[in-house]
Amino acid sequence: MTDNLTPSIRIVFDTNVLISALVFSGFAEDVYDHCALHFELYTSEWILSEFDEKMERKFGYSPERRKRIIETVRERHIVITPTNDMPVNSSDPNDNNVLRAALFIEAHFLITGDAKHLQILKRVGNTEIISPRMFSDRYIA
């Protein structure tokens, strides 16, 4: 079903999906790998920093292991530094940084596992906020 999406589709992955895809293996990894092969992936320095911090704090990853994983993300994504001050209004202030990245590059999709703060928004600007499962069901399966 990827046929109905063009390769120029821009996607931002929230930190929680990067963790699920790159720290654990399974469904999120499959969605991530598919997107990396077929679409343009973007991330921000803020997302990378949060990802690095969570790998250290929650999983006790060594600096070397974290560096390898971050390098993988840098190879697969275009890394941006959003300069927009667009108003974004998540109930979790940290999520505003993820939303800014998606708005800055005019992402078609923000893929997140955060149902409480982000998925509830459904859309910000022209960016659809969607879970890995829903993205897969609609565009991969």
Alpha helices in 25-86 (DSSP H): 27-38, 45-59, 63-76
Question: What is the per-residue pLDDT across 119-130, written as a single tens digit (0 to 9) for each?
Answer: 566 677 889 989
| 120, 121, 123, 124 alpha-carbon torsion, rounded to 10° | -150
Token pair belonging to 35: 């997107």
Where do the domains of the chain lie, and which CATH numbers do they carry? 10-140 (3.40.50.1010)
- pLDDT surpasses 60 at 1: no
As beta bridge partners, residue 111 has 13, 130
For the segment 72-117, what is each residue's pLDDT rounded down to a tens digit? 999 999 999 988 776 566 666 777 888 899 999 999 999 988 755 5
Nearest one of 62, 108, 110 to 90, comparing CA atoms: 110
